[in-house]
Structure 1
Amino acid sequence: MARQEQDREDLMREATALYPRAELQVQHEIEPVFWGQKRSGQFSFYFGGDPVYQFDVQGHLRRAYLDGQLYRTQGATLARLKRTRTADSSTLERYDLTEAERAAVLNGMSDRFAKLLGQLEDPQAFQLTAFLADATEQELLVQIRAHINLVLQGATKLAPRIRGKR
């Protein structure tokens, strides 16, 4: 996630750490869906500016940005991080989600990705509007669908804890 909170309107140009990357207009989504992969194999999906999901190579959730809130894996649960800004600093206050709250976030994510996968199976329901890749459109769509399937297979699992600054 960016240090400066701003609109994520030009990810195709600015998300240089994500290659390959693609933007799709999907029938049930108001804003374009952006997908990108890091060199490490980690990948992200942006449904407009919110929600945003970032995954490890197994498709386990690392970070999310939902309803204006930042979430980060703690291994066994998710932490919601609230940014508090002053003139001199910016700090993150951490709240560990309860089991029920974590389940709600992961179930909502799973539902969204199941719907997205269904749309990508129907060539009339989406359009690949832009991409940067060393692959054909068809090969890229296969890769995006594979990542969605990884997310769906690991939807109840979280990536290992992301260590914060101490």
Structure 2
Amino acid sequence: MARNEQDREDLMREATAFFPRAEIQVEHEADPVFWGQKKNGHFSFYFGSDPVYQFDQNGLLRRAFIAGQLYRTQKNTLARLTRERNSTETVLKRDDLTITQVEVFLQMMADRFQKLDSDFVNKQHVRLIRSLSDNSELELQNLIQDKIKQVLQNSHQLAPRIRGKR
């Protein structure tokens, strides 16, 4: 995710760690949706510049950026990281979510991905804008839809704690 949330890069051009990657327009979203997958199987969905969801290879949530807030898995919860800036540095303030807050967070995520899945059920509601992939357009759409379904199947769980983060 971008260091400064106001300065999102052109993900199709700049996010070279993602291959394949695609930018799509779907009926239920005003802004284009970016999807990309890394070599290790981790994948991300960017709904415009906000929200952003990053998943492990099993479709378990690792990180998110929502309403200007960073989130990351932290044992069995999510840590909300708030950027506090001054003229010389940026400090991340950590606040662990309660079980209820995590449940609400995951339900909101699942609702968004359910709408995205409903667009993919009717392929006429999905328009590929740009892509970098070895797959055909239909194969790429099917791959993205498979990842959406994987997220939905695992939307009640979090990925293991991100290594090196406490």
TM-score normalised by the shorter chain: which range applies? over 0.9
Give 2:161's aligned residue.
161
Q: Secondary structure at the match of 2:161?
A: coil
Letter in 1 for 2:53: Y
Number of residue pairs matched?
166
Matched, 1:77 2:77: yes
SS in 1 for 2:150: helix
Question: Which secondary structure state, in structure 1, belongs to the residue aligned with residue 124 of structure 2?
Answer: coil
Q: Deviations over 1:57-112 (max 9, x none)?
A: 00000000111111000130001001112222211110000111101110000011
Q: Deviations for 1:24-74, whole angstroms, at most 9, x for unmatched residues? A: 111110000110001111000000001000000000000001111110001
CA drift at 1:126: 1.7
3-state DSSP class of the match of 1:124? helix
- Deviation, 1:21, is 0.2
Q: In structure 1, the residue corresponding to 2:138 is in which secondary structure?
A: helix
Whole-angstrom distance in 2 between the partners of 1:112 and 1:121? 15
- 2:109 and 2:7 mapped to 1: Cα distance? 21
Q: Quick check: 33-42 or 8-17, which moved more?
A: 8-17
- CA separation of 1:151 and 1:51: change in aligned 2, threshold 3 A: same
Cα RMSD (Å): 1.4
Q: Distance in 2 between matches of 1:15 and 1:50?
A: 16
Q: Is the 8 A contact 1:24 1:126 kept in 2?
A: yes
Q: Which amino acid aligns with 1:6?
A: Q
Task: Give 2:19's aligned residue.
Answer: 19
1:62 aligned to 2:68? Answer: no
Summarize the alignment of residues 122-137 of structure 1 with structure 2, pairs less than 5 Å apart: 122-137=122-137
Name the counterpart of 1:28: 28
1:121 alignment partner AA:
V
TM-score, normalized by length of structure 2? 0.95
Scaled by the length of structure 1, the TM-score of the pair is 0.95
Counterpart Cα distance in 2 of 1:128 and 1:7: 24
Q: 1:4, 1:16 → 2: CA distance?
A: 19
User: How far is 1:165 from its partner?
Assistant: 5.7
Residue 151 of structure 2 is matched in structure 1 by 151
* Aligned sequence identity (%): 58
- Read off the aligned partner of 1:97 and give its amino acid letter: L
Question: Which shifted more, 85-94 or 127-136?
Answer: 85-94
Change (3 A) 1:98 1:105: same
- Could you tell me which amino acid in structure 1 is paired with residue 76 of structure 2? A
Letter of the 1:61 counterpart:
L
Aligned residue type for 1:94: R
Q: Is the 8 A contact 1:110 1:155 kept in 2?
A: yes
